[in-house]
Structure 1
Amino acid sequence: MEAKGQETFDAFVVLDLDRRLDRPDEEIEAAWQKLSRESHPDAEGGDAEKSADANRARSILLSPAGRLRHWLTLHGVEVPRQNAIDSDLMTRFTEVGAALANADDVLKRRAAANSALGRALLAEPAFAAQQSIQQLLGQLQRERLAVTGQFSTFDAAAHKGEFAAAIAALHRLGFLEKWESQCRERLLAFLTES
């Protein structure tokens, strides 16, 4: 919560972008790069605070869930902390949990393998776990894109003061982004641990 008399941080204003959800990441990056060049503390006339604000704005807007949450906040919409999880999301939660647990188990066994033979015996389970995580990551990315594909609809609904669909999407996006990150972490672990 902002202190009384203090302005609310607006990432869109900081990067000189109109307050719209539906925008490509490249547009956000370009706005951030322009502002970063102008405000970098090492540049002539640079401004450390402005540079920090630019970095914060970029971080918020590049995350679809962060962008949506920020957009809702700027519209004065109070976002509930807890929502009921729909059955589709609960099913996905179970699938993700099982795939991550399997990957963790294989990674743990591979790290504990003391011999080349032990590691070789884990090659097939490791490959299967990686493949499972990659497929899951692809599904999660498609689901996220389906939600962000509705951003223009949310922008239009905001003009009518309607935010229910955007709030529901925020809840879903939060899970999808978290799960995508966890899948990427496991894939990286498979690549870096030998």
Structure 2
Amino acid sequence: MPNAFALLGLPRAAALDDEALQQAWLAASRSAHPDQPGGDAARAAEINSAYETLQAPEKRLKHLLELHEVPWCTVPIDEGMMSLFSQLGPALQNVASFLKRRQSAASALAKALLAPQEMQLRDQLEALGTTVDEQRTQLLTTLPDLDSRLSSGDTTALSDLQILQARLAYFSKWQAQVREAFLSLM
């Protein structure tokens, strides 16, 4: 992929202002839109892809690592994340098991008897979702400092960027799983 930052006229940065990103995308896509004079469908697609890459912090950091030519490597999760994962895994399995029981419940009484467990699962998912959101938000607050370290030539900043990108990717996946499980209970 071409440099998404350059396509949208933005600086290479881990932290981007959402409003500035959207404005840059709108300006670039207006000029490249195929319905405009001089517009180009391929360029418009590149601009949309660049926006999609930069909009999600985990994708943005991955792209930034690619631009810095940092090779991919596995990043182990820390104890705090492992603890959260050890709560999340069983909760998601419990939801899947509950959904099977609810689907096989034939009578209104059988379904009504499952209501307390459903409520308990919803509460558990809501609490886990809040924890995931809070921890992800906390990681996002470190992006400006990381940009500062990158621009000052700190040699450890790229490895920290790699770790942060991996953690954000985990949190993003976990957010989606919690959201999907919660919606399946509706």
Output the TM-score relative to the length of structure 2: 0.89
Structure 1 stretches of 4+ with a deviation exceeding 6 A read none
Cα distance 1:106–1:163, how it changes in 2: closer, same or farther (>3 A)? Answer: same
Shift of 1:43: 4.0
- Unaligned 5+ residue runs, structure 2? none
Partner of 1:14: 7
Shift of 1:60: 1.1
Q: Paired residue for 2:146, among 150, 154, 159? A: 154
- 2:43 counterpart of 1:74: no
Partner of 2:16: 23
Aligned-partner Cα distance in 1 for 2:114–2:35: 50
Partner of 1:185: 180
Structure 1 segment 15-94 matched on structure 2, within 5 A? 15-80=8-73, 82-94=74-86
Partner of 1:3: none
- 2:151 counterpart of 1:175: no
Partner of 1:142: 134
Per-residue CA distance 1:71-94 (angstroms, 9 max, x = gap):
1211222231x2233222221211
Structure 1 segment 85-104 matched on structure 2, within 5 A? 85-104=77-96
Cα distance 1:111–1:54, how it changes in 2: closer, same or farther (>3 A)? Answer: farther
- Residue 171 of structure 2 aligns to a residue whose secondary structure is helix
- Unaligned 5+ residue runs, structure 1? 1-7
- 2:108 counterpart of 1:113: no
Deviates more, 1:155-164 or 1:144-153: 155-164
Aligned-partner Cα distance in 1 for 2:110–2:28: 53
Letter in 1 for 2:55: L
Letter in 2 for 1:27: A
1:107/1:126 contact within 8 Å kept: no
Cα distance 1:132–1:48, how it changes in 2: closer, same or farther (>3 A)? Answer: same
Shift of 1:24: 2.8
Cα distance 1:123–1:34, how it changes in 2: closer, same or farther (>3 A)? Answer: farther
Cα distance 1:93–1:47, how it changes in 2: closer, same or farther (>3 A)? Answer: same
